[in-house]
Amino acid sequence: MRIVMTTKRRRRSIGLLTVATLATAPVLAACGSDSEGGSGSTISYWLWDSAQQPGYQKCADAFHAANPSLTVQITQYGWNDYWSKLTAGFIADTAPDVFTNHLNYFAQFADLKVLRPLDQLGPTKDIKNTDYQPGLAELWFGQDGHRYGAPKDWDTISIFYNKKAIADAGMTEQQLASLTWNPDDGGTFEKAVAHLTVDVNGRRGDQPGFDKARVKTYGWASDGGGGGGWGQTQWSPFTGSVGGWTVTDKNPWGTTFHLDDPRFQKTIGWFFDLQRKGYMPSYQTIGGSSSTVGPDKQMQMGTAAMGFNGSWMISTFAKLTDADGKKIEIGIVPTPVGPSGKRASMFNGLADSITTQAKNPQAAAKWVSFLAGQQCQDLIGGSGVVFPARPSGTELAVRFNKDKRGLDVTPFTDQVKDKTTFLFPVTGHAADITALLKPAFDGIYIGSAEPSSLTEVNRQIEDLFKVGS
């Protein structure tokens, strides 16, 4: 999702630094005071999305107006710096009072006891699951039964497409919105991707003489191998709609994994074969493991016609311009219907968490309660950057995009309304799992490994949960 990794919000896995350093510091939970009061009148709050910072500054100003003795100091870091500084802060006792948390990191932080249970602090004790989009709040409970995150926002996946590229191909939005796929011949989805692919001689991917080695515009954009986030913006809408397949035996906290399932492996093989057919950029073309050229840049440069991405990227795609500075007209359609007979989208959410190092836990909890409340979430919704966790904030974000950007973003919200979502996998050993998955899927993408190699990876992941049992 992003080309400049320091400015956009990304769904990636935490690095091994966290495992190596935090695992050697089991006393971290004792760093913060359990005092109900504390002297802190300034609450430190960290986030990584620069696009959201102005909206949260409005929330901080409103919070201060209602609580004159408390001031919120917001610090924004780019994605990579954010997690490395947070990790270092837990070690050096310089972590913020409150920070934006991600499900891929939550399990590890909870296990390492660097988060305060929100249900043990007065202002956040009575957060209600029913105030938020269904399923979001429940994800933030640890295995000990305590809540460690207050719902902040949510996201789903849809297809962004270049309207001119679609029109030039003689296709319509209605056709894109009704695509179907299967792992045998790709269905109408693969036919559309082939037709949207154009080589340097102007031949399309479904025409005689197409040169797959010299492609000018790929029908499908690539966002990498997907091992860093369970294929969220790569293959998860396909594996989620293949029918009868889930990542784990239960979510959250599953310990049995299904990467050895033939349905999953067949789908993964079909998906990465799009690259070998010349319909999707190669691993090297997009920058390899660094994924420096994401789908938004591919569409901006005219090297891709359409591709999956998350709702957190709406504002980025809406601002795309070509080499001459002319606005690129972007459209959005839902994910294709799979063999299950339904569409599918991963449903992910962020939350705000309080660290054990918070100087004034009750004040921090008051701020987190405000962040999770309707006033702040409506302010964020009104900025149109993300979909807030509360339904009223979501409605405001939809309206903003329609009125201010002329963009219909309901393909994202319809996934929730139509109940075609599945939750981001929350598991223990998240960093260790990512360390196994990322090279495994990169290898399949490159062509140095077969999808069947995931059977051994699945065994290695399950072995992580057997240690010490």
Residues 267 and 310 in one domain: yes
The three-class DSSP label of residue 453 is: helix
**Are 340 and 436 contained in the same domain?**
yes
pLDDT digits (tens, 9 = 90+) for 18-68: 444 454 444 333 344 443 333 459 999 999 999 999 999 999 999 999 999
What span, in angstroms and rounded, lies between the C-alpha atoms of 469 and 466?
A: 5
**pLDDT value of position 275:** 98
User: Is there a single domain that holds both residue 232 and residue 316?
Assistant: yes
The pLDDT value given to residue 430: 87
pLDDT at 6: 29
Are 255 and 176 found together in one domain?
yes
User: Taking 70 as the threshold, does the pLDDT of residue 324 lie above it?
Assistant: yes
pLDDT of residue 202: 98
257 and 283 part of one domain: yes
pLDDT at 107: 84
Question: Span 197-218, mean pLDDT?
Answer: 98
* Residue 83 belongs to a domain: yes
Distances from the Cα of 203 to the Cαs of 28, 274, 444, in angstroms? Answer: 60, 17, 28
Q: Distance of CA 370 to CAs 56, 59, 147, 461, Å?
A: 11, 8, 16, 39
426 compared with 260, residue with greater pLDDT: 260
Residue 215 confidence (pLDDT): 98
What is the separation, in whole angstroms, between the first and last Cα of the chain? 38
Could you report the per-residue pLDDT of 96-122, keeping only the tens digit for each? 999 999 988 898 898 889 999 999 999
Q: What DSSP line would sit under 345-407, residue for residue?
A: EEEEEEEEEEBTT-SSHHHHHHHHHHHTSHHHHHHHHTTTSSEESSHHHHHHHHHHHHHHH--
Domain range for 72 is 16-154+348-413
**419 within a domain of the structure (yes/no):** no
pLDDT at 329: 97
Which residues, at least 6 apart from 209, have a Cβ–Cβ distance to it below 8 Å?
Answer: 201, 203
State the pLDDT at residue 80. Answer: 81
* Residue 3 within any structural domain of the chain: no
Say whether both 31 and 174 belong to one domain. no
Q: What pLDDT score was predicted for residue 289?
A: 63
Mean pLDDT across 410-427: 95
Please indicate, yes or no, whether residues 334 and 233 belong to a single structural domain of this protein. yes
- Answer yes or no: do 368 and 222 share one domain: no
Q: For residue 5, is pLDDT > 70? A: no
pLDDT in tens, 265-312: 999 999 999 999 999 999 999 987 655 799 999 999 999 999 999 999
Which residue did the predictor score with more confidence, 21 or 344?
A: 344
Q: Are residues 126 and 162 in the same domain?
A: no
Average pLDDT along the chain: 91
Overall domain count for the chain: 2
Task: Please indicate, yes or no, whether residues 168 and 138 belong to a single structural domain of this protein.
Answer: no
- The stretch 357-377 carries a mean pLDDT of 97
Phi, psi of 320 (to 5 degrees): -65, 135
Whichever domain contains 97, its CATH number is 3.40.190.10
C-alpha–C-alpha distance, residues 281 and 261, integer Å: 27
What is the structure's pLDDT at 30?
Answer: 37
In a shared domain, residues 46 and 86 = yes
Confidence grade of residue 79 (pLDDT, cut at 50, 70, 90): confident
Q: What is the mean pLDDT of residues 455-465?
A: 97
